[in-house]
Chains A and B, each alone.
Chain A
Amino acid sequence: MSADLEKQLRAALRAVEPPAGFAARVSARTQHGRWRRGWLPMQQRWVPTALAASVLAALLLGYGWQTHRERQGLQARQQLIEALRVTGQKLDLAYRGVQEASRPSDDTGA
């Protein structure tokens, strides 16, 4: 029986594909940062070294800021979803209370 259960578990837990477009969504989020990095070497060919270093520093800061901002945005989204979930749950609690209160009593009296 144990072997049967294990076989059923394997069948039940067969991996599934994520929703369509998953890889594209991931790529879109990673590509934005990648584009900034890719641009840099071309600039370095044409400007004096000191200026290039300044541009590099500014871009790296910008890239770092972008990454930080993206992280912040994802965290904010997670927090927002949690907040909406808790809000929805408590409104649901209130709605149910109202619904129960408005239901006619089952008591028929003595």
Chain B
Amino acid sequence: MTNTTTSRQVKINQIGLGKSEYKGNPTTLCKGCGHNSISSQIIAACYEMDLVPENIVKFSGIGCSSKSPTYFLNRSFGFNSLHGRMPSLATGALLADHSVKGIAVSGDGDTASIGMGQFKHVIRRNLSMVYIIENNGVYGLTKGQFSATAETGLKLKAQGTNPYMPIDIAWEALVGHATFVARSFAGDPKQVKEIIKAALHHDGIAVLDIISPCVTFNNKDESVHSYAWGKEHEVALHDLSYVPPAEDILVEYQPGEATAVTMHDGSKVFLKKLEQDYDPTDRAAAMHILEEANAKQWLLTGLIFISPEQPSMADIYRLPDTPLNRLPEDRLRPPRESIDKINDLMF
């Protein structure tokens, strides 16, 4: 259905909203940042699914990715909370009105370093929420430090060699009994939008591990603005005031295919899209295929696992139809007659 105006046609969706109703404030992230691409797909997915913005709530932790909820869905409530502590806040909030859909945005530090505990436990509880990790640490470097997702033995000129085991966020979600696990790459907007839509449909926790390249913290020695260059030329990191505009890194590859993607700093990641006929309901198979891919240092993309029948937290808590935050006093404060009964229960 479209409205015609005198000069242009404004497209609207089935509930009569134009795409602009799903937008947020202009981004303050760097041009070419993968997070911006993901924000665009969140907007597109919600618009195309005819979701009412007021029926959505946004959560985030702290970090570049956690800034992004201001860049989409201005008409939805949002809470930019604390580093690594967003899942608990989302849990309390979503129980207050379980008819509101939660979209949470986090990063690999926010989720896999400081937030590891809350990440695992929100998965255990199967809180019904779309949980997006905008993961820029997968190739091993964020702001000059190793990410928890860095592979063992990765060498960084200014850091040395990473002696520790890597954390694979999708794997951790699967092992933790997440009822929906998917991975994608910010530069594959079609796939990103697909998995976001699937996640929005899912009643339970939906973990989306989305590789999202960082444009700013280059580590290539030859690059004029790498961290190593800065150290050598005694330029403090925060003095690197010139961030060259970068373009989004885009990929296109088919189900079953693998592709190598060159990041802004010259490192490569290898993406493998799951086959068209891959069955995502078999958890053991999912673990096996993830492990296989990891051994080859490939990142598997697509819908890795889904289990739609598990009860979500709202089911477990047997909440009434009226949202808890709309209950009137007479459904919250016990009646006056009850106080005698309570006193009798005491000794």
A complexed with B = no
Interface residues of A (CB under 8 A from B): none
